[in-house]
């Protein structure tokens, strides 16, 4: 640890927050937000440079809040996705990693969610998860707790990351890749994922229990009921397949919406792919999650066909989520059910061609990971 303090003050400041645990319960190492553990048989023969790489790798899992963001994803594949998101940064910072099997330039600048949506196809549930550290650099354990606990944990680690960055900068020893990550973290923003999650939750047909108060608001002395069940009914996802929407954006959206929908029961998910006409439809259910979305069609854009298809083929849906670059003015009339437009903001310098006459618009900024 002494060498890490002298050579890498950013990582050492974060590592010193953790209690060190020696254990044979894991094959390699782990972090959980409070502790950093290691198997002595694994670490004793390891060169010092790789030990420093292991510690840096583990604190990056926490600094990027991988322990709070796993949700219902497969634990092993989430570890792999987090490793890919981390290892490129560490490699550029000059660290030598204990294992480089999860180091690939094609995943540079991607979040763990984005990587996960690319590498996990939903057919190997629990497979990679049988090993707590499939990437071989040290795993991350899921933090358990209420949504309020999770938010507090994330805020604590974001504050710790910013404080560690200030220490490193004062010593003139802050890697450029990390500096960019921390600067993004400092910017106050309402994440599009949070807005989308709130939209789905508000639209859902939920049963509430007033006898058990909602802990999320207890600190504000607001008494609200807790959820007894979470049922969504039919959610429609319309996908703009015009040429200006990228598969990378679609993959990120699919990963995030799958994570949100996994929290609900009795779901029917109706996918409608459309350019100037409906090109393809698919139906999914709870057991089919996570969903994978692929481009079908390509060309111009017309926002009316999906709403017409819903009117002809479905009862009133719980909500409709339209994934689009908004490069069109052909809007239908307000259908009368909750609608949100997930706008790929990075296209066309963030300028929308058309403004929806109804519903909510959330900007999906790919730089906000």
In this predicted model, what pLDDT tens digit does every residue of 206-255 receive, in sequence order?
444 434 444 444 444 444 444 445 677 899 999 998 766 778 888 888 88
Q: Are residues 341 and 260 in the same domain?
A: yes
Q: Are residues 357 and 298 in the same domain?
A: yes
Q: Is 323 helix (H, G, I), strand (E, B) or coil?
A: strand
Point out the domain boundary residue: 155, 186, 217: 186
- Of the candidates 125, 152, 136, the one whose C-alpha atom is nearest the C-alpha of residue 68 is 152
Q: Are residues 109 and 160 in the same domain?
A: yes
- Of the candidates 61, 74, 73, the one whose C-alpha atom is nearest the C-alpha of residue 30 is 61
Q: Are residues 235 and 161 in the same domain?
A: no
Point out the domain boundary residue: 137, 159, 186: 186
Indicate whether 101 belongs to any domain.
yes
Query: Please, which pLDDT band fits residue 256 given cuts at 50, 70 and 90?
Result: confident
Half-sphere exposure of 38 (CA within 13 A, CB side): 20
Task: Between 312 and 175, name the one with better pLDDT.
Answer: 312
Indicate whether 232 belongs to any domain.
yes
Phi, psi of 290 (to 5 degrees): -75, 150
Count: domains in the chain:
2
- Mean pLDDT for 248-269 is 85
Indicate whether 343 belongs to any domain.
yes
Point out the domain boundary residue: 186, 215, 239: 186
Indicate whether 127 belongs to any domain.
yes
Q: Are residues 165 and 214 in the same domain?
A: no
Global pTM exceeds 0.75 = no
Indicate whether 58 belongs to any domain.
yes
Domain of residue 325: give its range: 192-363
Phi, psi of 340 (to 5 degrees): -130, 140
Q: Which residues pair with 225 in a beta bridge?
A: 213
Q: Are residues 89 and 229 in the same domain?
A: no
Contacts of 181 (CB under 8 A, 6+ apart): 89
Tokens of 262: 């996994």
Q: Are residues 216 and 78 in the same domain?
A: no
pLDDT digits (tens, 9 = 90+) for 12-48: 889 989 999 999 999 999 999 999 999 999 999 999 9
Indicate whether 369 belongs to any domain.
no
């Amino acid at each position: 640890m002494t060498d890490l303090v002298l050579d890498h003050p950013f990582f050492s400041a974060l590592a010193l927050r953790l209690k060190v645990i020696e254990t044979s319960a894991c094959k390699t190492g782990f972090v959980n937000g409070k502790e950093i553990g290691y198997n002595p048989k694994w670490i004793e023969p390891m060169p010092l440079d790789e030990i420093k790489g292991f510690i840096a790798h583990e604190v990056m899992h926490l600094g990027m809040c991988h322990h709070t963001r796993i949700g219902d994803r497969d634990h092993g594949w989430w570890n792999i996705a987090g490793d890919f998101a981390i290892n490129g940064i560490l490699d550029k910072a000059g660290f030598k990693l204990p294992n480089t099997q999860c180091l690939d330039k094609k995943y540079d600048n991607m979040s763990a969610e984005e990587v996960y949506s690319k590498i996990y196809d939903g057919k190997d549930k629990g497979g990679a998860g049988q090993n707590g550290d499939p990437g071989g650099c040290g795993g991350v354990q899921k933090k358990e707790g209420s949504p309020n606990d999770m938010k507090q944990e994330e805020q604590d680690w974001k504050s710790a990351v910013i404080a560690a960055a200030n220490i490193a900068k004062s010593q003139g020893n802050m890697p450029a890749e990390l500096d960019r990550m921390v600067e993004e973290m400092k910017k106050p923003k309402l994440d599009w994922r949070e807005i989308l999650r709130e939209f789905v939750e508000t639209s859902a047909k939920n049963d509430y229990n007033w006898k058990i108060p909602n802990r999320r608001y207890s600190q504000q002395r607001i008494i609200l009921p807790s959820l007894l069940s979470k049922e969504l009914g039919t959610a429609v996802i319309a996908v703009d397949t015009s040429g200006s929407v990228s598969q990378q954006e679609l993959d990120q959206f699919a990963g995030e919406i799958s994570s949100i929908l996994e929290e609900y029961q009795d779901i029917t998910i109706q996918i409608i792919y459309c350019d100037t006409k409906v090109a393809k439809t698919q139906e999914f259910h709870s057991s089919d999650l996570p969903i994978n979305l692929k481009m079908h069609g390509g060309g111009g854009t017309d926002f009316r066909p999906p709403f017409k298809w819903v009117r002809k083929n479905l009862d009133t849906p719980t909500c409709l989520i339209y994934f689009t670059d908004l490069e069109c003015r052909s809007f239908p009339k307000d259908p009368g059910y909750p609608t949100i437009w997930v706008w790929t903001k990075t296209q066309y310098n963030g300028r929308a061609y058309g403004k929806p006459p109804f519903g909510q618009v959330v900007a999906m900024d790919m730089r906000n990971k």
